[in-house]
Structure 1
Amino acid sequence: MFFIYLRRELRRRRKAALVVASGLALGIALVIVVTSVSSGMNRAQDKVLESLYGLGTDMTVTKAASPPGEGETVRRPRFEFDAKDDDDDAEQSQDLVMVEGFETLASSTVDKVAGQDGVADAVGGLSVRVMKVNGQFKRGEAQAMPAQPGGPGGGTDSGGTVRGGGAEFDVDSYTVYGTDVAHQGLGPLTSSKITSGRGFDESETDAKVAVVDSAYAKENDLSAGKKLTISGTKYEIVGIATADSGDAAANVYLPLAQAQKLADAKNKVTTVYVQAADSQRIDGVKQTIRKNIPGTMVTTSADLADTVSGSLSTASDLASGVGKWLSIVVLGAAFLVAGLLTSAAVSRRVREFGTLKALGWKSGRVTRQVAGEALVNGLVGGALGIALGLAGAWLITTFSPTLTAQLGGADGGGGAGGDRVFGQGPGGPVQEAAGRALDIALTAPVSLTTIGLAVALAVAGGLVAGGFGGWRASRLRPADALRRVE
């Protein structure tokens, strides 16, 4: 009897049911779209961080920058060329290899970090910048001046000038990252895929081999099998790596021991990449490392995410702020309208419910009947809302608007020994990426959790509407209801 009456009433009041369902559908669809876009924003930020840290990295440990002292000097890259008597026009070339920021930690710090409670894995790396100057000095030609009369004793004065000559040099700057090839599960190289050749072998801990980023390889006509010379040492290019998203963390990747030799940084690292045993304990692990290993600076992914700026940050703020509040307001309004419309429908059905009560229906049965109709309206609205929300998320993912992300907040920190280093900050790929814009395609993934939330909202909307209407229906008295005309 309940379902027969329910079906008949819903068919008889299709327009009213459609209005209630449409209002709920709009609010639910907005919630799905906003939730999906927020999830897409989080994924986009994760891609930005992974392009710097690599997959699986929860935090990095670097050396705390020394406070600037009074009268500190500014160190700048300095190139010195020897004169060559046998060939003054010979080409001059020199590589200046510098540790990024000149801030390093002892390699033993990696083991200390790995031994802290809550740390699943820790790997050290060395970030190096290479500045290559290549060119030549050209000797000028002396030209004599014509003799001039009137010199002392009736003689002539003669002079000369040098024409031509000079110097022409090209300066090329690129980054090198020394990776621990025996532990390749963490670090920036994990965010790139080998697209040509091969990656490092675990036995190549001190081999003269290199993996080159695809963009840098294309720019310099490099490929697997060719040689790359850095500061007089030739390295065989064994593979070409392509970053999964954004730019690569370094132009060239070398075994850690080789990078340490080039930069004269034996048993030194600039960054320790850390993976926590439990993602829920990251903040606790951070505090433990800072407490037990003094002189270090610990940066989590959340810390770095706070420095992301650009259109990605703006859109994320809008989605998490304005978007969520807007969806809440619209959803609340939809619930309220659904409740009011259901209550108004009960008012128009006073004589009907009065007759049912006179025939023996209890107030609870009338209330359940009204609530059942409202619940069905809510489920229909939920189905429509899910369809609209999925369509909106699909459109966003299909057109994939491009957002720009830029990592800021990095300073030109102090170098070791109290000297400030020209153009350098704290070591690591993070500093290298500061000020560099990355283009990220926005997606709007819809998860099962989001669908479950939509269904829950649909049921809640139906219950809210049914609650309003049922409360009105339960207050009706048969005698009063039968005296009123519908």
Structure 2
Amino acid sequence: MFFTYLRRELRRRRKAALVVASGLALGIALVIVVSSVSSGMGKAQEKVLQSLYGLGTDMTVTKAMETSEGGGERPERPRFSFDAQAEGSGEEQSTDHVMVQGFQSLADSTVDKVGEQSGVADAVGGLSLQVVKVSGEFTRGRFQQDGQGGQDGGQGGPGGAEPSEGGRVQGGGADFDVNSYSVYGTDVTEPKLGPLTSSRITDGRTFKASETDAKVAVADSAHAKEKELETGDTVTVKGTKFKIIGIATAESGDAAADLYLPLKQAQTLADAKDKVTTIYVRATDSQQIDSVKSAIQKNVSGTTVTTSADLADTVSGSLSTASSLATGVGTWLSVAVLVTAFLVAGLLTSSAVSRRVREFGTLKALGWTSGRVTGQVVGEAVVHGLMGGVLGIALGLAGAYAVTAISPTLQAELGGGAGGSGAMGGPGGGPVGGPGREAAAKTLEVALTAPVGLTTVALAVGLAVAGGLVAGAFGGWRASRLRPADALRRVA
């Protein structure tokens, strides 16, 4: 009897049912779109952080900034020496200088100390370097006396004979090119932790655990393309030749370094024996990251601990703006629309009950109890809500699909921190200057998607049922107050 009467009333009142369902559908669709876009923002931010942090990394440990009054000891600046008296003209000379990123480093033993802290599953150290290569040639000038033809007097280079009176040196000079690239020394015995894990080997192979001190290298694909390097070629860093065994391509964003070397080889190049710049840490439980961070800061002095949440705070640009809108304005807008839809549905249901006074009064006169009448109204309202839920899910999925199809590109700007502070999270983002010098901002581009998960769909169904119950509560309360006499009055 209940379902028969319910089906008949819904068929009779199609327009009213469609109006109520449409209102709920708009609110539910907006919730789905906002939730899916927020989820897409989270995934986009994860891609940005992953390109800097590396897969499986929960936090990084770097040396704390040292501040000293009165200036303190300044780091050694790079010096380049050339032989300007080399025989002949046009002979190319080159030299390179290897510097520790930010001039801040930790002792190798700190890695073990961090690994011993409670809640730390694994810790591995790495050394981030910057190589500045200067290459070019000197050209000798030509000495020419006043009123005479030019002659080679050997005056082009510094240190030559003094020119006689009435003459001058013409031409000559120097033409040098400065090339800078980054090198990262990785612990080859820990292949599942560190910046190299955010790249995929697209040619050749990665390091073997036995190659701790081997003269081998993995090149980033962008750097390899620029320098026309292939697997099997050799690169020279500070006079040492390394064989390229693989080409790595960053999964998202920029690569952590242009060239990856075994940690011991990197330490030798930089004269930084038993030194690391960054310690990558994986926690045993992702829910305990804050407590692990506190333990490291308390027990390992002179260090700065940066988590992915800390790094996320440095993300700016259109990604940050869109994320704020989705989580802030979008959420409140969804709530406001949803509450409005619930209220409108409730008022429409209550109004419909007022127009059915004769019907419900007659049913009560025939023996229907107030509870049965109320149940009938609530049942109709719940069906309206489910209809709105189905329509809302369809609209929401269409909206999320449209966002994914368009895939708007967002920019993520990661502001540089002080040298060695670890604010950039990875070796590629560190500064080249000394402590206190800010790193250049790093800009990445990510495509926005709007994935819809089962949780979002379940939320939509729950909201549909809740909307029906709210509308049914309004109408049921109104129906329970009707009396048979009201129906007789309407009949008269």
Residues 366 and 473, structure 1, Cα contact 8 Å, conserved in 2:
yes
The CA deviation at 1:71 is 3.4
Q: How far has the Cα of 1:106 moved from its partner?
A: 0.8
- Equivalent of 2:375, from 348, 361, 368? 368
C-alpha distance in 2, partners of 1:425/1:40?
37
Map residues 242-261 of structure 1 onto 2, 5 A cutoff. Answer: 242-261=249-268
Deviations 1:179-214 (A, max 9, x none): 111001111100100001111111111110000000
Aligned to 2:201, the other structure's residue is in SS state: strand
Kept in 2, the 8 Å contact 1:38–1:316? The answer is yes
Within-5 A mapping of 1:31-46: 31-46=31-46
- For 2:116 and 2:419, locate their aligned partners in 1 and report how far apart those are by CA, in whole Å: 31
Deviation at 1:408, TM superposition (A): 1.0
Q: Given the two structures, how large is their TM-score scaled by the length of structure 1?
A: 0.93
TM-score normalised by structure 2 residue count: 0.92
- Structure 1 residue runs of 5 or longer lacking an equivalent are 148-156, 416-420
Q: Quick check: 1:224 aligned with 2:225?
A: no
Q: Partner of 1:481 in structure 2?
A: 487
What residue ranges of structure 2 are gaps of 5+ in the alignment? 149-163, 423-430
1:413 positional shift: 6.4
Query: Which residue identity is paired with 2:2?
Result: F
More off after superposition, 269-278 vs 67-76: 67-76
Q: Which of 445, 454, 462 is 1:448 aligned to? A: 454
Q: Which residue of 2 aligns with 1:277?
A: 284
Which amino acid is 1:55 matched to? Answer: L
Q: In the alignment, is the contact (CA less than 8 A) between 2:416 and 2:442 conserved in 1?
A: no
Mark the CA change 1:135 to 1:485 in structure 2 (over 3 Å): closer, same or farther.
Answer: farther
Paired letter, 2:478 = R
Contact preservation (8 Å) 2:27, 2:338: yes
Could you tell me which residue of structure 2 aligns to residue 332 of structure 1?
339
Letter in 2 for 1:131: V
Q: Match for 2:66: what amino acid?
A: S
Q: Which stretch has the larger CA shift, 77-86 or 398-407? A: 77-86
RMSD over aligned Cα atoms: 1.9
Contact 1:104–1:268 (8 Å) recurs in 2? yes
Partners of 2:143 and 2:168 within 8 A in 1? yes
Q: Structure 1, residues 310-359: CA drift from partner, whole Å, max 9, x if none?
A: 10000001101111110110011000100000000000001100000011
Aligned partner of 1:469 in structure 2 is 475
Say which SS state the counterpart of residue 22 (structure 1) adopts: helix
CA contact (8 A) 1:217 1:240 kept: yes
Cross-structure match for 2:158: none
**1:128 aligned counterpart, secondary structure:** strand
Q: Residue 322 of structure 2 corresponds to which residue in structure 1?
A: 315
Matches within 5 A, 1:8-157: 8-72=8-72, 73=74, 75-87=76-88, 89-146=90-147
Equivalent position SS for 1:376: helix
SS of aligned partner of 2:39: helix
Match of 1:193 among 183, 187, 200: 200
For residues 153-195 of structure 1, what are the alpha-carbon distances to aligned partners after superposition, in whole Å with 9 as ceiling and x for unaligned?
A: xxxx951111111001111111001111100111110010000
Q: What is the CA distance between 1:92 and its match in structure 2?
A: 1.3
SS at match of 2:191: coil
Distance 2:261 2:133 in 1: 17
Shift of 1:412: 4.5
Report runs of 4+ in structure 1 exceeding 4 Å deviation: 72-75, 412-415, 424-427
2:277–2:420: 8 Å Cα contact kept in structure 1? no
Cα distance in 1, alignment partners of residues 344 and 79 from structure 2: 74
Question: Which stretch shows the higher mean deviation, 78-87 or 361-370?
Answer: 78-87
CA contact (8 A) 1:68 1:414 kept: no
CA deviation after TM superposition for structure 1 residue 87, in Å: 4.0
How many angstroms apart in 2 are the aligned matches of 1:121 and 1:473?
Answer: 65
What percent identity do the matched residue pairs reach?
71
Once residues 113 and 414 of structure 1 are traced to their aligned partners in structure 2, the CA distance between those partners, rounded to angstroms, is 17
Alpha-carbon distance in structure 2 between the residues aligned to 1:482 and 1:425: 90
For residues 158 and 54 of structure 1, the distance between their equivalents in structure 2, rounded to whole angstroms, comes to 67
Change beyond 3 A, Cα 1:48–1:424? farther
Q: How does 1:278-297 map to 2 (within 5 A)?
A: 278-297=285-304
Would the aligned equivalents of 1:191 and 1:244 in 2 still touch at CA under 8 Å?
yes
Identify which of 357, 361, 364 aligns with 1:354: 361
Determine the C-alpha separation between the residues in 2 that align with 1:356 and 1:275.
68
For residues 344 and 409 of structure 1, do their structure 2 counterparts lie closer, same or farther at Cα, with a shift above 3 Å needed? farther
> What is the match of residue 408 of structure 1?
415
Aligned position for 1:2:
2
3-state DSSP of counterpart to 2:213? coil
Q: Is the 8 A contact 1:146 1:158 kept in 2?
A: no
